[in-house]
Amino acid sequence: MGQVQDMTLRVSHKSSVSADLDPAFGNTIIRRIYWCAQAAAQKASITAEVARKIEHRVIVDFMSSGLVAIPSALIEAEGLIVVCDMDATGTATIMNLLDPDDYIALVDQALDDDVLGIPHAAYGEEFCTRH
């Protein structure tokens, strides 16, 4: 089972992360951070300070986007690649923590196979949509 940290953060002068943000993003709210089971297991192997810095980086990046929801994001924090998202209810979910070398290997492997399920050959051809 994952770990949930409840919080309500608004971009304001009183927010602990407001120094990193433009007050124009006042409508973006993160109510909680959820570490899914895989990430929660990884969280157990890092210090509380590193976990706090990862959460802070995720909050700053998501809040500075000004978006209500972010379906998928990769954020570099504390020497790790954080796989995360944010839904419209204000829940940011940390799904995985990847070592940068592991992330590069995954990308290289995906590029060797195909990109998003489309063989490389298709990218060399002219293509237009019908709409």
Structural domains of the chain, ranges and CATH numbers in brackets: 3-99 (3.30.2310)
Q: How far apart are CA 101 and CA 123, in angstroms?
A: 27
- Helix (H) or strand (E) holding 71, with range, is strand 70-77
pLDDT tens for 42-64 read: 999 999 999 999 999 999 999 88
DSSP symbols for 1-66: --EEEEEEEESSTTSTTGGGS-GGGTT-EEEEEEE-HHHHHHHTTS-HHHHHHHHHHHHHHHHHHT
Q: How confident is residue 25, by pLDDT bands cut at 50, 70 and 90?
A: low
Question: For the whole model, what pTM was predicted?
Answer: 0.68
Q: Which amino acid is at 9?
A: L
Q: How confident is residue 29, by pLDDT bands cut at 50, 70 and 90?
A: confident
Tokens coding 53: 């810095």
Q: How confident is residue 121, by pLDDT bands cut at 50, 70 and 90?
A: low
DSSP class of residue 78?
T
Averaged confidence pLDDT in the chain:
75
DSSP class of residue 115?
B
